Structure 1
Amino acid sequence: MQYQGVLTKMQTELQNPVQYYLVFEDDFIHVNQLLDKEIRIEFLKYQCLACGLNKKIYRQGYCYEDFYKVPQAADWIMKPELSKAHLDQEDRDLEYEKKVQLQPHIVYLANSSNVKVGVTRKTQVPTRWIDQGAHEAIEIVEVPNRYLAGITEVALKEHIADKTNWRKMLKNEIEDENLVEQRDALKQYIPEEALEYYIASNQETNIEFPVLQYPKKLKSLNLEKTPEYQGVLKGIKGQYLIFEDGTVFNVRNWEGYVVSIGVSA
């Protein structure tokens, strides 16, 4: 079977295990059904997620010009504490910024390779945890806007990590942690403005990923350097495809790249 389309991050459903889908303009792939099959990936061209043109992708699926123009790539995306819509101040597009920033946000703990703190919109729970390859996660606070979530994350980062070791995550070098205890221990560091939104009643969410075989050594597939690759799919975790030879492909890193995907019968 042959598929073709522009890559965007895989869509997911929280089941046991997680179900993954690659969605193209005219088709989609239920990626779980490709496990143990030989897959061929070929890079064909670029397609900027904003302008749609065949222009070299700079970051996050956008060409250089659009990356510095579209609100979806503004600094407050990666640094929620820079959000200003609650002050009625525009960054790039106030209407978009109000739509995204002025809605409930969650500050959470997730354990992918180690326990880390993070921020996501409430509507993105548990999608955000799945995308990070977290096998367990728990909410800390639910605040009414992105700014409050951002300053809470900044405060908690002084006491707990905010990054995932993707290599350990993909090798499944993980330990189960008591996230309830860690959440409660962090309560004292929550900023006063956000403390009333502390959640003390929830439990961990546990996530199982569809992986048949974890790699011992990793090598990342770079479509710029290796525009054609073929291998047997052995697992899906986070936004990564894991192949039998230890090659891993981070789908999200290659958003905006048009590919052909062939599946051997």
Structure 2
Amino acid sequence: MNAQDYTDIISLCDKAIDMLDDFFLSKCEMDLRLVKNVAFIFMDERKIRTDVLDSIPVPMRADFSRCVNHINNVCSYTIYPRKNSETEAIYNCISYIKEVINHLIEKINTNKKHITVFYSWQLSTPGKYNNYFIRDCLQAAIKEINQLIPIEERDQNHNIEVDSDTQGTSGSPHIFNTILNKIDTATLFIVDISITSKKTCNSNVMLELGYAIKTLGFNNIIMIFNTALGSLDDLPFDLRSQRVSTYSFKEGDDKKQATKYLTSLLKQAISTALQ
């Protein structure tokens, strides 16, 4: 889920809370469908989705699960008096869900102050010409950009950092969910869409790119393509109709020259995207 999803959930919770307030004052009847819609967002059939639980802070997770399951299973209630233990439990559960979602929104807003570039790389192309090479140029470009940030702003977490895959996470996290959560909170998404030996794009990269398009939008995405491996015409139409940053680097080429070119290209693209 992303910030817009969370905002929509808050709106739905507010509607349910307003309905319950009116219900307690005998101004309307109970709308169980509205109540259960709050829970439905988080469910996969009869269970709370794994990606939802992974995003909830551990201290809040048990109570959040209890509240979602409670309102999802509400089928009937005692109507007299209207404000009783059953209807108050529904009210309290929705209020707690709203509190948790507000916490997640606040976390996203805090992370946005800290500029993060998520790098989506692939194993289907030679690392020394793509993955590792792009990463080194990306780090160099960001180092140059950070040096231009006033010292007082660096103290306010305005430095730019590169993140990728499950880097920085402890234990044995669910890889795909971790990547999606990182994309949700990223400022920019940089992706290597170079053609593989099979004359197609890497499937994992395409999946991550699709999610980033939905979450961040093309304005916050920088697509990188090594023309030494293929032509832009080999890309899916929906991608080649967008701006793609290209470079060319293969065996026998001047690495120093290629590094200087791609570093400059990334520096310009990142600086423009952050304006």
Please confirm whether the aligned pair reaches a TM-score higher than 0.5, indicating the same fold.
no
TM range (shorter): under 0.3
TM-score under structure 1 length normalisation:
0.28
Which structure is larger by alpha-carbon Rg, 1 or 2?
Answer: 2
Say which structure is richer in strand. 1
Say which structure is richer in helix. 2
TM-score under structure 2 length normalisation:
0.27
Q: Which has the higher contact order (CA 8 A, sep 6+)?
A: 1
